[in-house]
């Protein structure tokens, strides 16, 4: 019979006692990293306490310090999420914690206690609780959000506002620039029992804000209304022009139907002009486009100028008419949006590099490459000065296509022309949506009519 011996080490009595002692110590002593975290938390809470007692503390400062205090605590993300939402919500108002309304001899936060007592008392009388979140820090014209009636109507007004009280309320609102007509209407509705106290005190009385809300409400459904009125065959870009007319008329109308009826004659005139204009544009040749003769160009420029003054957003429609007739966008820009005198003066002053790029005498390939490198270097150096000159009279109607045409005619490389646009943007020139579109169009160099070359 073979006997098997277990040669693995066994725990001694001493080691077992040591292990048991260690487990007991772990239960009764806090790990060192937890002690450090407790110290940091206590320090953070102390800073929060001091911030909360400061009447000038901003909510974002208080809550940021709160997040800093709990950083590193296991499971802190459960608290960080709600705190972050609170920061975003409260920092939008940028209001001090105490709203900056603590008076002399009044402890910070005392006005909040008084407000809570007033609300509780008001609730017991059945008058409802005003929505204090919409009340501005001040009732002046510089209020950043709507001014409500809450600050003008006493909380113990009762169920009826007598003539003397109504007069006093209306006068107070009028002095702050509020809409007194809205106030009178709300007081009448309250006295007739049509609205409760809560609705009354939260009524917006800011004249400008009320007009803005009315405009936004009208515009929210304007496009849907207009699409139901217009012929579906009308092109989307033409619909956009009509929508601009419609939206502009809404400011002076009470409803969609009234605004639409007002622009009906303009819609008909627009459609007639869009039918007639393409017939005035000569056919162009894709391979040998000489360009539209100057006399005919002047006629088209005159008629398109009046059209674009009446419908500013119709540029793309007319440009498409030119391209449909075989004319390049460079020809369309020369007619539809010529450069101003000051812009033309800048273009006239730039250097002409054609003699170097197109030499009269034959040159070796090496000499020609040296010329091209020199031209490119000189153009790059000249860009900052040209950009500063253009920026002086820069506006949203400045034609980037015409600038491209005039510079390309003088032997400028497309890369340097685009560098000029980048420089203009860096020094503060604002590019309109149309100009941004033109920069995209010029990514692929368009042909230039021979007449300009």
Question: pLDDT tens for residues 228-273?
Answer: 899 989 998 999 999 999 988 887 887 888 989 999 999 999 999 9
Q: What is the residue range of 421's domain?
A: 329-452
Q: Does residue 97 form part of some domain?
A: no
Q: Does residue 192 form part of some domain?
A: yes
Identify the residue whose tokens are 């065959």: 233
Average pLDDT, the chain: 76
Residue 270, pLDDT score:
93
Q: Does residue 165 form part of some domain?
A: yes
Cα–Cα distance for residue pair 198/201, rounded to 1 Å: 6
Same domain, 223 and 176: no
| Token output for 432 | 């309109």
Same domain, 352 and 267: no
Same domain, 383 and 447: yes
Out of 138-152, 188-202, 229-243, pick the least confident. Answer: 138-152
Same domain, 203 and 223: no
Question: Are 53 and 97 within 8 A, CB to CB?
Answer: no
Q: Does residue 121 form part of some domain?
A: no
Same domain, 196 and 234: no
Q: Does residue 359 form part of some domain?
A: yes
Residue 446, pLDDT score:
94
Residue 79, pLDDT score:
55
pLDDT at residue 116 tops 80? no
The dihedrals phi and psi of 178, each to the nearest 5 degrees, come to -80, 175
Same domain, 448 and 340: yes
Residue 412, pLDDT score:
96
For the beta carbon of residue 281, count every other beta carbon within 10 angstroms.
Answer: 22
Cα–Cα distance for residue pair 62/53, rounded to 1 Å: 10
Q: Does residue 4 form part of some domain?
A: no
Out of 123-137, 271-285, 310-324, pick the least confident. Answer: 123-137
Same domain, 283 and 354: no
Question: Are 172 and 144 within 8 A, CB to CB?
Answer: no
pLDDT range class, residue 308, cuts 50, 70, 90: very high
Residue 349, pLDDT score:
96
Same domain, 83 and 188: no
pLDDT in tens, 40-58: 666 766 776 666 666 666 6
Question: Are 439 and 400 within 8 A, CB to CB?
Answer: yes
Out of 21-35, 98-112, 252-266, pick the least confident. Answer: 98-112
Residue 140, pLDDT score:
39
Last residue of a domain, one of 303, 338, 356: 303
- The total domain count for the chain is 4
Residue 37, pLDDT score:
58
Last residue of a domain, one of 185, 207, 229: 207
Same domain, 279 and 347: no
Region 203-232: mean pLDDT is 74
| Token output for 225 | 């209304």
Same domain, 227 and 174: no
Angle at 368 between CA 363 and CA 373, to 5 degrees: 160
Cα–Cα distance for residue pair 66/49, rounded to 1 Å: 10
Residue 434, pLDDT score:
94
Cα–Cα distance for residue pair 5/15, rounded to 1 Å: 22
Of 266, 217, 265, nearest to 244 by C-alpha is 266
pLDDT > 70 fraction of the chain, expressed in percent and rounded: 64
Q: Does residue 313 form part of some domain?
A: no
Cα–Cα distance for residue pair 28/25, rounded to 1 Å: 5
Of 433, 358, 351, 432, nearest to 385 by C-alpha is 351
Same domain, 154 and 189: yes
pLDDT in tens, 362-407: 889 899 999 999 999 999 999 999 999 999 999 999 999 999 999 9
Identify the residue whose tokens are 């802190």: 76
Q: Does residue 18 form part of some domain?
A: no
Last residue of a domain, one of 160, 178, 207: 207
Cα distances from 269 to residues 257, 258, 263, 274, in angstroms, run 19, 19, 10, 9
Residue 65, pLDDT score:
67
Same domain, 377 and 423: yes
**232-247 burial, b if ≥16 CB within 10 A, otherwise e?**
eeeeeebbebbbebbb
Residue 323, pLDDT score:
94
């Amino acid at each position: 019979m073979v006997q098997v011996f277990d040669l693995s080490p066994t725990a001694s009595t001493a080691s077992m006692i040591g292990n048991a002692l260690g487990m007991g110590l772990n239960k009764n002593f806090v790990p060192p990293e937890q002690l450090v975290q407790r110290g940091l938390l206590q320090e953070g809470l102390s800073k929060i306490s001091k911030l909360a007692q400061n009447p000038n503390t901003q909510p974002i400062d208080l809550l940021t310090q709160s997040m800093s205090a709990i950083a590193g605590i296991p499971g802190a993300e459960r608290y960080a999420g709600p705190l972050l939402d609170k920061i975003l919500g409260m920092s939008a108002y940028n209001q001090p914690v105490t709203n900056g309304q603590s008076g002399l001899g009044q402890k910070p936060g005392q006005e909040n206690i008084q407000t809570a007592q007033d609300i509780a008392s008001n609730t017991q009388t059945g008058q409802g609780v005003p929505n204090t979140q919409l009340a501005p820090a001040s009732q002046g014209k510089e209020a950043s959000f709507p001014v409500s009636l809450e600050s003008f109507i006493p909380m113990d007004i009762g169920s009826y506002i007598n003539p003397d009280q109504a007069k006093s309320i209306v006068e107070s609102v009028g002095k702050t620039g509020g809409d007194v007509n809205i106030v009178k209407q709300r007081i009448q509705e309250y006295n007739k029992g049509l609205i409760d106290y809560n609705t009354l005190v939260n009524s917006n009385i800011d004249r400008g804000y009320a007009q803005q809300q009315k405009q936004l409400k009208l515009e929210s459904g304007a496009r849907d209304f207009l699409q139901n009125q217009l012929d579906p065959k009308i092109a989307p870009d033409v619909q956009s022009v009509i929508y601009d007319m419609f939206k502009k008329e809404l400011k002076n109308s009470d409803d969609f139907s009234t605004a639409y009826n007002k622009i009906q004659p303009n819609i008909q005139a627009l459609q007639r002009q869009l039918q007639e204009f393409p017939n005035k544009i000569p056919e162009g040749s894709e391979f040998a486009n000489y360009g539209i003769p100057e006399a005919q160009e002047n006629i088209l420029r005159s008629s398109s100028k009046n059209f674009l003054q009446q419908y500013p957003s119709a540029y793309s429609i007319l440009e498409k008419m030119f391209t449909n007739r075989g004319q390049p966008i460079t020809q369309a820009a020369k007619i539809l949006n010529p450069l101003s005198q000051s812009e033309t003066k800048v273009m006239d002053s730039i250097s002409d590099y054609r003699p170097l790029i197109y030499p009269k005498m034959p040159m070796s390939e090496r000499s020609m490459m040296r010329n091209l490198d020199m031209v490119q270097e000189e153009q790059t150096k000249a860009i900052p000065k040209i950009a500063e000159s253009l920026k002086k009279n820069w506006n949203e109607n400045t034609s980037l296509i015409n600038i491209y045409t005039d510079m390309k005619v003088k032997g400028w490389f497309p890369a340097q022309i685009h560098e000029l646009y980048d420089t203009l943007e860096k020094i503060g020139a604002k590019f309109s949506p149309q100009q941004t579109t033109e920069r995209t169009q010029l990514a692929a160099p368009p042909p230039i009519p021979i007449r300009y070359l």
